[in-house]
Amino acid sequence: MLRVQGTYYARTEHGGHRVVADSQGFLVSWPSGSVRYPSARQTLIAITNRTPAPNRHHRDPKLSFDRYFRRGRWALAVPQQDVMTLFSEKISVAAPTVIINGSSDLSIEEPPKGIDLAKRGHEVRKLFYAGYGRRVAKYGYDPEDVLQEIYQGILVRNQGKCPFDPSKSSFGHYVHMICGCIVSNYRRRYSRLERNEQFGVPGIGGAPDSVIFDVREADIAFDEPLQHSSVEMESVHRALSDVVGRRARMLGSDSALARQCLDLMSQGYRKGEIVARTGSRPGHIAKILRMIRQTAAELRPDLGLC
User: Does residue 38 belong to any structural domain of this protein?
Assistant: yes
* Amino acid identity at 158: N
> How much is the pLDDT for 180?
92
d(Cα 69, Cα 165) in Å, to the nearest integer? 43
Total number of domains constituting the chain: 3
Are residue 181 and residue 249 in the same domain, yes or no?
Answer: no
Are residue 236 and residue 284 in the same domain, yes or no?
Answer: yes
User: Does residue 107 belong to any structural domain of this protein?
Assistant: no
Are residue 251 and residue 184 in the same domain, yes or no?
Answer: no
User: Does residue 33 belong to any structural domain of this protein?
Assistant: yes
CA angle 222, 229, 221 (to 5 degrees): 5
Task: Find the length of the chain.
Answer: 306
Using the 3D structure, point to which of 167, 194, 221 is the last residue of a domain.
Answer: 194
From the first residue on, what is the mean pLDDT of each consecutive set of 10 residues in the chain (306 residues)?
A: 77 90 90 91 92 90 89 73 59 54 57 84 92 90 92 91 87 92 90 73 58 63 55 76 86 86 87 89 89 84 64
> How much is the pLDDT for 295?
85
What pTM, to 2 d.p., does this model score? 0.35
User: Does residue 216 belong to any structural domain of this protein?
Assistant: no
Full domain range(s) for residue 44: 6-74
User: Does residue 203 belong to any structural domain of this protein?
Assistant: no
User: Does residue 111 belong to any structural domain of this protein?
Assistant: no
Are residue 251 and residue 189 in the same domain, yes or no?
Answer: no
Contacts of 24 (CB under 8 A, 6+ apart): 36
Contacts of 244 (CB under 8 A, 6+ apart): 255, 258, 259, 262, 291, 292, 295
